[in-house]
Structure 1
Amino acid sequence: MTATAPTRPAPPRRRPAERNIPRQETLRGRLRHLRYRASPQQVFAELFEKRWMEPAIPVALLAGVIVFFSIAAPGFASSANLLSTAAELAEMSLICLGMAVVMISGGIDLSVGAMFGLTNMVAILLITVGGVPVVPAILLTVVAGAVLGSLNGVIVAYLKARPFLTTLVTLIIFRGVLNLLDLHFSAQTASVFVTDPVWEWFGSGKVAGLPFSFVTLLVVLVLGHVVLSRSRLGWHVTAVGASRRAARHAGIRVERVLLFSYVAAGALCAVAGVFYAARLSSASARVGEGFELNVLTAVILGGISLAGGKGTVWRAFIGAATISLLGKGLLLMDVGGEVLQTVLAVVLIVAVGLDTKWGKNRGKAIQKTYVNPTLLEYGPLEDIRPGSGSPFEINDRLRDAEAIGLGQVEGPEDVIVDDQGRVYCGTRQGWILRFSGPDFGTREVFARIGGHPLGMAFDAERNLIVCVGGMGLYAVSPDGKHRKLSDETDRTWSRLRDDSRLRMADDVDITPDGRIWFSEATTRFDMADWILDGVEGRPNGRLVCHDPKTGRTRTVLRDLVFPNGVCGAHDGESLLIAQTWLCRILRYWHSGPNRGRLEIFMDNFPGYLDNINRASDGTYWVALNGMRSPAYDLAMRMPKFRRRMMKRIPRDEWLYPSMNHGCVVKVSEAGEVLETFWDPGGEKHATITSMREHDGHLYIGGLENNRVGRVRLS
């Protein structure tokens, strides 16, 4: 394409104004800006992006059950009923947690009800018939539950039997053993009186007014969450459930993981059995009968996938609470058991259907609402055509640029030269290349970092400081060894989205005091879709400072619109910050009497700004990676139009049609344009993103280039 622009007179260059003040100063203009600045759509997208929003349907159903029965069932919301329900809920939830672990690992355990009843019987028999003290009896009962679970685990994991059939058979076996024990010891287990204080504590003890069993459940929930989400064992359980073959290829011992899940299920059933035995002081063959169906219903209702690899302990608890409260509420309303089972079946079908729909459409809803354009307004476009007299007038001074590493480099976003005259640049492969020798004919891989190396700067020890897109801030020593300096900063607690991780560290510079200043262009988009930040136009970026002396990284300025280039000013007290989509340069005073002040240095550039670097004569070099057009300016004033267009037409065909125009601008300390270097049409240097002056030459890099350019300066 050739560069085109409206034939308008060039506006005068103004001295910087204070702060980022909208151009529309009328009341109507301010209200319009405020309307688009407020973003309920963005709040919706970020809220539904949270992982804790996945069980939205089960949580809504649980809330509905509580509200309905609090109104319809007399005594449901009373403290006495809630305390008794908490004790019963604890027992059922422990069993559900065991079932959840097995299902997350890709299995199923239909014997949990039988194990619960059998361990309940074992606890009573150990104390009454065996005469075992309470504490050893409790421990032996838990061990017995683990042994029962291990029987399932050995058959499923090592004998490769199907979990459904295996646990169905062990259900029959465990239930048969329970019937035999009940037949022989029914007199001893029908009613038990144990005066041991530990036994009474397990049955009716309270902590802070809550049943001890419920407090134990909370502890187990926290431990289970930590194990499943923060430990290697938990990751292995999820990986095995997602794909046993992939897990085995990754070196995970699948059999051990499966065995662990079934042992955990058995132990949790035993803990529930102990609490049940202590609370009722009795045991019978009817305990836990048909319980596996209720447990399976609760776990599926909570959102634990039958296919494995998906679920949390909290979701299992939500399902258990829903089923337990539903049963208690229907009981208070004097509804029979047959009706209860029918209601449970209907609730399960409806809830699972809604949860499935929610799971499928939640991602689509986030995708459709995540990009939320706002209102941006610019000053008049300058006439940049040859002969216009504009300071940005097009020329061809880059067409004869010398090519370094032609065809040997991909996407050298930034370029830098060391004190020996060697040229460094990053590539899409995550490498940093170094060109040296006569005519820079020697190419070597200086470092392999990963990500996409963007901005670069040398510190006082000649370490190369690099912003790596998707990874953070890194340092490369003179011998090519790299280390991470920082990949996170302080979080913005007023936002739903956790922005502590550095998603797109962009350009970097180092001030005389040794502090490293760098920009994060956007906290909402990654390297693969950073261009969407331009469609949105919101202040998603920030200025970050890393102090090597303390190792601390902190956010200095928030709410910047795509801060791209960062350059320490010649005065040593301020920084220049290029805002790409605002076509503006800011000056931030980090030291001196104006410390903390933020002002506009230059405004209304005819193109999108990228990196800034110091020139040798007290001026600055600025890269324009593309040019504005009347269509672009109009589109940025119409957020709704941009939202519709981005769903129908590729962005580079309507919003960024001039991204292939290369331009380097030289500006003075007073904010005046001194000269420009153009490559019309981007024949050799398209999408110029950086330039670096060294020893009478200007070195040029570009995100879409296959070379590093070199131009002799007069």
Structure 2
Amino acid sequence: MAMPEMPALTGALSPNKHLQNAKILFKNEIHGPESFVWLNGALYSTVENGFIKIINDKIVKKIQIGKSGCLECGRPLGMRHYKDETFIVADCYNGILTVDFKTGKIETLLPGGTIVDGIKLNFADDLDFIDKDTIIFSDASTTWDLTRFSNAMLELKGDGRVLKFNLKTKEISTLLTNLQFANGIQIHSDKQSVLICETGAARIVRYFFDGPKKGTHEYFVTNLPGLPDNIRASSKGTTYYIAFAIPRVPNHWSFIDSLAPYPFIRKLILQIIPESLGFTFYRATMANYGLFVEADTNGKIIKSWHDPTGFTKMISQVIDADDAIYVGSYAHEHLAKIYKNQL
């Protein structure tokens, strides 16, 4: 699978310092802010070993999954509001969960390892609702788990898929397969299709679950200026924030771009590099640059936010709420807050 030439950073992608100038929250206080939801003046976020609730830029509640230091006890990734202070969560080890911030109770709706169409649920990643009881969620890789994420990106075997699950009846079905690391999930504003980030291919797929195109899919946007993690609708409802875990910056050597056409070399690297060093190697090759974009309903990029210093990079998700845009960063384990009136 060859990658197209990286898009030029011109027009809507022209470099700026909007992300570089953001206010930094919780540096060295939180680990792995992956997905967050704004609700009634509070920001709810997944973190490495559980969940936090933030009000006025202060953490007011923490809920832990499993015991401290136990990564495989649970790693919540995607999160969406369900009802009251209860959220539905995609956990890459435990499956589909609910977390109630009032009681601190966590329940399993669909366990990790459940066999779906002959394949076990291996890497629940992100989700969105198509109605009050039905979600569409991604199973990023049916081969590799989170600790071996870099292996999935090296192999690029197209073992990601998207599933539909009814929270009440527990009915589950496969919608789409053969995806290159199926990641972020966002229902399109047409309410007939879902947008799916293919991290390993720098593109977003649009699958139609209803309407005249039901059961078909097409590309929403290709050749993105980065490998997309999560995607979320803006507060306008008709545009989408796309977060880039790894930017694709022209004139910077890209591991994925360079080796994508050579499966033999990728397989060789997979055999040589110890799994414990896989992500370290991967991270060492990426550009020291932070970037996320906003796209319209047709996938056209209309705006971008940059951090040329690379302090806020490896971006997991972006949302806007009231007067600010919130950005999750793995690079230095923090949230960045961009005030809209300063743009």
TM-score interval, smaller chain: 0.7 to 0.9
Q: Describe the superposition over 1:6-53 as per-residue Cα deviations: whole angstroms up to 9, x where unpaired.
A: xxxxxxxxxxxxxxxxxxxxxxxxxxxxxxxxxxxxxxxxxxxxxxxx
What is the CA RMSD across the aligned residues, in angstroms?
2.2
Letter in 1 for 2:264: K
Q: Are 2:134 and 2:165, in contact at CA under 8 Å, matched by a contact in 1?
A: yes
Q: Describe the superposition over 1:372-429 as per-residue Cα deviations: whole angstroms up to 9, x where unpaired.
A: xxxx112121233xxxx3432322211222223232211111122212x21122222x
Structure 1 residue 698: deviation in Å?
1.1
Q: Distance in 1 between matches of 2:12 and 2:286?
A: 19
Partner of 1:472: 95
Aligned counterpart in structure 2 of residue 713 of structure 1, from 329, 340, 343: 340
Q: Are 1:515 and 1:547, in contact at CA under 8 Å, matched by a contact in 2?
A: yes
Partner of 2:69: none
Aligned counterpart in structure 2 of residue 627 of structure 1, from 244, 247, 267: 247
Letter in 2 for 1:557: L
Q: Which has the higher strand share?
A: 2
SS in 1 for 2:90: strand
Q: Does 1:688 align with 2:315?
A: yes
Q: Does 1:572 align with 2:191?
A: yes
Letter in 1 for 2:29: Q
Partner of 1:435: 54
Aligned counterpart in structure 2 of residue 400 of structure 1, from 17, 21, 24: 21
Partner of 1:588: 207
Q: Does 1:675 align with 2:303?
A: yes
Q: Are 1:665 and 1:675, in contact at CA under 8 Å, matched by a contact in 2?
A: yes
Q: Distance in 2 between matches of 1:491 and 1:476?
A: 23
Letter in 2 for 1:444: K
Letter in 1 for 2:45: C
Structure 2 counterparts to residues 80-95 of structure 1, below 5 A: none
Structure 2 counterparts to residues 168-567 of structure 1, below 5 A: 376-384=1-9, 389-419=10-40, 421-428=41-48, 430-436=49-55, 439-448=56-65, 450-479=73-102, 480-487=104-111, 488-493=113-118, 499-500=119-120, 502-567=121-186
Q: Distance in 2 between matches of 1:456 and 1:654?
A: 26
Partner of 1:644: 268
Q: Distance in 2 between matches of 1:426 and 1:432?
A: 4
Structure 1 residue 662: deviation in Å?
2.0
Q: Does the C-alpha gap of structure 1 residues 687 and 699 become closer, same or farther in structure 2, counting only changes over 3 Å?
A: same
Q: Distance in 2 between matches of 1:703 and 1:553?
A: 32
Q: Distance in 1 between matches of 2:261 and 2:101?
A: 48
Q: Which has the higher helix share?
A: 1
Q: Are 1:512 and 1:572, in contact at CA under 8 Å, matched by a contact in 2?
A: no
Q: Distance in 1 between matches of 2:44 and 2:282?
A: 34
Letter in 1 for 2:290: G
Q: Distance in 1 between matches of 2:267 and 2:16?
A: 36
Structure 1 residue 658: deviation in Å?
1.6
Letter in 1 for 2:24: A
Q: Does the C-alpha gap of structure 1 residues 631 and 614 become closer, same or farther in structure 2, counting only changes over 3 Å?
A: closer
Structure 1 residue 489: deviation in Å?
4.7
Partner of 2:290: 662
Q: Does the C-alpha gap of structure 1 residues 635 and 656 become closer, same or farther in structure 2, counting only changes over 3 Å?
A: farther
Partner of 2:70: none
Q: Distance in 1 between matches of 2:254 and 2:92?
A: 30
Q: Distance in 1 between matches of 2:309 and 2:93?
A: 30
Q: Describe the superposition over 1:186-221 as per-residue Cα deviations: whole angstroms up to 9, x where unpaired.
A: xxxxxxxxxxxxxxxxxxxxxxxxxxxxxxxxxxxx
Q: Does the C-alpha gap of structure 1 residues 518 and 536 become closer, same or farther in structure 2, counting only changes over 3 Å?
A: same
For structure 1, the residue ranges without an aligned partner over 5 or more in a row are 1-375, 494-498
Q: Does the C-alpha gap of structure 1 residues 514 and 504 become closer, same or farther in structure 2, counting only changes over 3 Å?
A: same
Structure 1 residue 577: deviation in Å?
0.4
- The aligned length equals 324
Q: Describe the superposition over 1:257-296 as per-residue Cα deviations: whole angstroms up to 9, x where unpaired.
A: xxxxxxxxxxxxxxxxxxxxxxxxxxxxxxxxxxxxxxxx
SS in 2 for 1:535: helix
Q: Describe the superposition over 1:292-331 as per-residue Cα deviations: whole angstroms up to 9, x where unpaired.
A: xxxxxxxxxxxxxxxxxxxxxxxxxxxxxxxxxxxxxxxx
Q: Are 2:138 and 2:160, in contact at CA under 8 Å, matched by a contact in 1?
A: yes
Q: Does the C-alpha gap of structure 1 residues 595 and 654 become closer, same or farther in structure 2, counting only changes over 3 Å?
A: closer
SS in 2 for 1:644: helix
Q: Distance in 1 between matches of 2:283 and 2:334?
A: 26
Q: Are 1:635 and 1:655, in contact at CA under 8 Å, matched by a contact in 2?
A: no
Q: Distance in 1 between matches of 2:306 and 2:218?
A: 29
For structure 2, the residue ranges without an aligned partner over 5 or more in a row are 67-72
Structure 1 residue 654: deviation in Å?
6.8
Q: Are 2:199 and 2:228, in contact at CA under 8 Å, matched by a contact in 1?
A: yes
Letter in 2 for 1:509: D
SS in 2 for 1:408: coil
Structure 1 residue 527: deviation in Å?
1.3
Percent of aligned pairs with the same residue?
26
